[in-house]
Amino acid sequence: MAAQFSWLNEPKSWSGDAGTLKLRTEPDTDFWRETFYGFIRDSGHAYTCPVTGDFSAEATVLGDYADLYDQAGLFLRLDDRHWIKAGIEYTDGLMHFSVVVTRGVSDWSVIPLPAAKPTDPVRVRLTRHDDAVRVQYAVGDMAWQMARLCPFPAAEARIGLMACSPQGPGFDVSFSGLAVGEAIPRDLHAAG
């Protein structure tokens, strides 16, 4: 990819590039701000590039999730107080599609994926239209599903890949097919 990618909190073990990235998360890594837990964490791993204006970004994620809150997906970041992470999070012994939107403080939404197995690749897509971000996911060959539509500043940001292990010793994750480009159409109910 031609875009200039760089690490925020580079993991000790990783290989590849934005097109095919593999890494092992470090323990005690996370992105979170205050809500419910009362702490601030900005230690997760993120491999991102600059982005401006409207765009869509998507990637496929496959992880060896094992411990509570192991997570991997896409990351959109303005600064340490304004960011979105979206992807798989392992919670209560089950894969969930998870979205955290942080605008000063974090909020968290999850969609249980009881039929999904850890060996199932999950596609994640973030689309920004002006000051709104749409988050979508697809497990295996299923059609895109909308998980979230949220307000988010239409400012210069960074977009890319994210993985964290808030409580476990770390896990292996691979990302493929990262594409950042023109925003998909605004029609929320169109196929694709």
| CATH number of the domain encompassing residue 111 | 2.60.120.200
* 179 in a structural domain: no
**Do residues 46 and 75 lie in contact, with contact meaning Cβ atoms separated by under 8 Å?**
yes
The model's pTM is 0.95
What span, in angstroms and rounded, lies between the C-alpha atoms of 75 and 32?
Answer: 13
Q: Is residue 25 part of a domain?
A: yes
The torsion angle over the Cα atoms of residues 93, 96, 102 and 105, rounded to 10 degrees, is: -40
CA distance 11 to 117: 26
pLDDT digits (tens, 9 = 90+) for 22-34: 999 999 999 999 9
The label of the residue with tokens 């994210």 reads 162
Domain membership of residue 183 (yes or no) is no
Residue 189: inside a domain: no
DSSP string for 17-50? -SSEEEEEPPTT--EEESTTT--EEE--EEEEEE
Token couple for 150: 């949220």
- Number of neighbouring beta carbons within 10 Å of residue 151: 11
Query: Tell me: the pLDDT tens digits for 114-167?
Result: 888 878 899 999 999 999 999 999 998 889 999 999 999 999 999 999 999 999
Domain range for residue 82? 6-169
Residues 6+ apart with CB under 8 A from 94: 112, 113, 114
User: Beta-carbon neighbour count of residue 149 at 10 Å?
Assistant: 13
In the chain, the number of structural domains is: 1
Please report whether residue 185 resides in a domain: no
Give domain status of residue 175, yes or no. Answer: no
